[in-house]
Amino acid sequence: MAAYFVGVDLGGTNIKAGLVDEDANVKIKFSVPTGIEEGPDKVVANIVAAAERAIAEAGVDRKDVAGVGIGSPGPMSHRQGLVINPGNLPGMKNVPLRDLVAKATGIPTTLENDANAAAWGEFWAGAGKGVQDLVMFTLGTGVGGGVITEGKLLRGYFENAGELGHMLVQPGGRLCSCGQKGCLEAYSSAYFLARRAEEFIAEGRPSSLKTYVDRGEMLMAEHVVAASRAGDELARQVWDEACYFLAVACVIMQHVSNPQRVVMAGGLIAAGDALLQPIRKYFKELTWKLLDDGPEILFATLGNDAGFIGAAGCAWQAARTGEW
């Protein structure tokens, strides 16, 4: 008998949902509004409706659906099944989401941090398939991530493991939005890339990027990437610095969890080899010379589907282990 799993990726604007089989094949996927403006009860109702729709539209026998997995922004608690106070979901404070969805659907449900779920998606069905130890960096507005070691998600005692964007790569350095100074996120995220370039321009450094500032337009990370490729020295410096500190983070994780693969995901991977090659180069320069145990560093393959596929995969894992 085949088993199927509903995956739900809960975002501030949209809920992405789908049905996935036990071999990680996607049967159906779709996106619906989150409805946070109508309050937590509406969000829960929309998640339940999305789960029911996924089952109905996939045309599978309901008794073959073995679990529901939800990936939620943090802070959240996997152990308690609790959404605590996610910044992009105002009002979703101390919501027992796992149990509410399980009760409404009658299907066992697990709740996971959304970054962890995406990492599990790549591990289960994407760039990490076939390995047991993986680290994923998600390079977007911020820097997120997830760590899988010996085939298990690393959550930690306080359930905040895998906050890779907030490892210190330059102690005492740039102020991060989290309050620390020198976080990876403050050097290698899309948001801070653009702000770093703006700071240099404000100091009087010449750059083609100044045209955006002069027009009153918000400078974006893609502008920095394009200018770097075109030979703009300021943009090249900012981009190179971002790649350098990502390599530093890879070396740190090499020694912390010793992964077989490090996967880069998120919007910044659109830069292609301009991102991957410098990270690999700096990694080789920075890593120790006692032993050749460096991981493969490569791109994620699931794109925006990693979240819901990974959430379904977390339900698959919970069904296998009985640890809901």
Instruction: Give the DSSP letter string of 123-186.
Output: HHHSTTTT-S-EEEEEESSSEEEEEEETTEE---TTS-TT-GGGSBSSTT-SBPTTS-BSBTHH
- SS3 of 59, please? coil
- SS3 of 117, please? helix
**How many Cα neighbours within 13 Å face the side chain of 26?**
20
Closest among 139, 108, 136 to 124, alpha carbons compared: 136
Q: Domain containing 9 — which CATH number?
A: 3.30.420.40
Higher pLDDT among residues 87 and 33, named by residue = 33
With cut-offs at 50, 70 and 90, classify the pLDDT of residue 2. confident
Question: Using CB atoms within 10 A of its CB, is residue 204 exposed (0-12), middle (13-18) or buried (19+)?
Answer: exposed
Residues 150 and 261 in one domain: yes
Residues 309 and 214 in one domain: no
Q: What per-residue confidence (pLDDT) applies to 88?
A: 87
Residues 78 and 150 in one domain: no
pLDDT in tens, 67-112: 999 999 989 999 999 999 998 899 999 999 999 999 999 999 999 9
Residues 142 and 264 in one domain: yes
pLDDT average, residue stretch 16-45:
97
Residues 216 and 94 in one domain: no
Residues 59 and 86 in one domain: yes
Is the pTM higher than 0.85? The answer reads yes
Domain of residue 257, residue span: 130-301
Judged against a pLDDT cut of 70, whether residue 1 lies above it is answered with: no
Residues 99 and 165 in one domain: no
pLDDT in tens, 138-178: 999 999 999 999 999 999 999 999 999 999 999 999 999 99
- What does the DSSP 8-state code read for residue 265? E
Residues 297 and 273 in one domain: yes
Residues 71 and 189 in one domain: no
Average pLDDT, the chain: 96
Residues 156 and 97 in one domain: no
Look at the chain and report how many structural domains it folds into. 2
Measured in Å, how far apart are the chain's first and last C-alpha atoms? Answer: 21
Q: How many other C-beta atoms can be found within 10 angstroms of the C-beta atom of residue 31?
A: 16
Residues 153 and 174 in one domain: yes
pLDDT in tens, 61-72: 999 999 999 999
Residues 115 and 134 in one domain: no
